[in-house]
Amino acid sequence: MYNITDILLIGSDHKGELMADFNKILDAGDVAGGVVNVVIEIGTGSQLKVEWNRKKAIFELDRVEPGIFAKPCNYGFIPQTLDDDGDELDALIICNEPIATGVVVQGKIIGILNFEDDGEMDHKVVVVPADDRHNGDSVNSLDDLSPALLKQLEHHFSHYKDLKKPGSTNVQGWGNIEDAKAIIAECQERWDKEA
């Protein structure tokens, strides 16, 4: 049983054992085997730019996006990784349904979006749920996604900061599964060194 003091301290630095710190509970997953752990931050269609704050181990609302920049797919991060931009490596979870913030997904790696934000690489690993009887089971690489969806994703990441900081984002194209695994491994090494 927790007393009221414990409960009030949830989210502070003092009672780490009470918090769901995803970077302590989970690692990146079976990267070589092609399946990563992804923690959902934003569900498909949401305008809420929710971000995981790893220092406090809480989700925070960073900003509310304009409707035209609602997320075109589920969005989250891979635990125990750090990308060039100093944050956990991001992931796009392609799934017919919006997935709630905080849900952990086993993601089958299908590729990567090479993306630069303000001069720093901010890759987006692309996954589908490892067990998805609706769609994902027939998706094994980016080639299995519709060209329209790929274009929509490129468009989103090229323009979602247009009203805030125009010209700061740069979509550099797609990579395959091996490219994705190599970047994840790099980001795991950075985590081991810097986190």
Write out the residues near Mg ion by the rule CB under 5 A.
Answer: 87, 90, 122
Tokens of 80: 């125990």
Say which DSSP state 138 is in: G
Closest approach, Cβ 117 to Mg ion, in A, equals: 7
Q: Is 79 exposed, middle or buried (0-12, 13-18, 19+ CB in 10 A)?
A: buried
- What type of residue sits at position 155? H
**Nearer residue to Mg ion within complex by CB, 40 or 139:** 40
**Nearer residue to Mg ion within complex by CB, 87 or 186:** 87
Say which DSSP state 26 is in: -
Cα–Cα dist 48/39, whole Å: 16
Tokens of 167: 């010209």
Closest approach, Cβ 150 to Mg ion, in A, equals: 20
**Nearer residue to Mg ion within complex by CB, 101 or 132:** 101
Closest approach, Cβ 45 to Mg ion, in A, equals: 20
Coil, strand or helix: which one is 23? helix
Cα–Cα dist 177/142, whole Å: 9
Closest approach, Cβ 87 to Mg ion, in A, equals: 4
Kindly list the distances between the CA atom of residue 184 and the CA atoms of 3, 24, 28, in Å, as whole numbers in the listed order: 40, 18, 8
Closest approach, Cβ 122 to Mg ion, in A, equals: 4
**Nearer residue to Mg ion within complex by CB, 10 or 171:** 171
Closest approach, Cβ 85 to Mg ion, in A, equals: 5
**Nearer residue to Mg ion within complex by CB, 18 or 48:** 48
**Nearer residue to Mg ion within complex by CB, 14 or 165:** 165
Tokens of 126: 């692309």
φ/ψ region of 38 (left if φ > 0, alpha if ψ in -120 to 50, else beta) reads beta
